[in-house]
Amino acid sequence: LDLAPGDELATVPRDLWRSTEPSLDICLNFRHGLASKGVYPAIDLDVLNTTYAATFQLPVLRVLRGELRGLLRRSNSLKEKLATGKDLGFQAEVEDVDSLGSDTVARALLTQSKLCSMREVVVLACASVVFYFPRQRPSRSEVAAFQAEVVDLIRSYYPSIWEALDRDLSDEEARRLLQELGEVLLQNRHVFQLTRLDV
């Protein structure tokens, strides 16, 4: 689409172009460091954080995308702050180190060792946004166990939420559903080993 610098597309074609254009020329590099740690599909999340949201994306994923982008930005900002402070010889704040550790675990929740349904992806993405993880370096098996426990909790004990994740929802319904899901997850945070402070 060649436009003169002053030209502006109408809203619908512009949104269509912004959601389609990144997929035409995107290059997702395989990260061998991620793969060696068992993180698949071994694509850096920060690369995906730089593109426009697809207009055809499900409303629950659109809402979650905004929350996940915030998590990724905060995580990168903390990482840069700690690296700069270290270069300057400053003592790192314990709170910053703990927050970065929690964000690292939250990122690990978004990795999968097996195929996940859309409902499972939504539950895991929501968990990565709402939980604080006091354990700094859980093993891959601990992360996988946590993923299975969180999904099983919602599927088994909150079937109305689980079923609603498969419905065609408006943006507002998606926000309400994700808020309800987040509240349920927070109510049950002491059930999971990775979210308990006493471990």
The DSSP string of 172-193 is HHHHHHHHHHHHHHHHTGGGSG
For range 70-81, the mean pLDDT = 87
Q: Which residue has the higher pLDDT, 170 or 10?
A: 170
Helix segments in the chain, DSSP class H: 11-25, 32-36, 45-48, 59-88, 94-109, 118-130, 140-157, 159-164, 171-187
| Cβ-count burial 25-60 (b if 16+ within 10 Å, e if not) | eeeeeeeeebeeeebeebeebeebeeeeebeeeebb
So what's the pLDDT on residue 157? 97
Condensed to tens digits (0 to 9), the pLDDT of residues 91-111 reads 999 999 999 889 889 988 888
So what's the pLDDT on residue 14? 67
Q: Which residue has the higher pLDDT, 123 or 35?
A: 123
What is the Cα gyration radius of the chain? 19
So what's the pLDDT on residue 67? 87
Condensed to tens digits (0 to 9), the pLDDT of residues 128-153 reads 999 999 977 888 899 999 999 999 99
* Residue whose pair of structure tokens reads 């859309």 in the numeric block: 118
Q: Which residue has the higher pLDDT, 23 or 78?
A: 78
Condensed to tens digits (0 to 9), the pLDDT of residues 14-67 reads 676 666 655 555 555 666 676 666 666 665 666 555 555 566 678 898 888 888
CA distances from 42 to 29, 35, 48, 113 (A): 8, 5, 12, 11
Collapse the DSSP code of 142 into the 3-class scheme (helix H, G, I; strand E, B; otherwise coil) and give the result. helix
| Cβ-count burial 180-195 (b if 16+ within 10 Å, e if not) | ebbebbeebeeebebb
> How many angstroms separate the CA atoms of 118 and 60, rounded?
10
So what's the pLDDT on residue 23? 55
Q: Which residue has the higher pLDDT, 13 or 6?
A: 13
> How many angstroms separate the CA atoms of 138 and 144, rounded?
10
Amino acid symbol at 2:
D
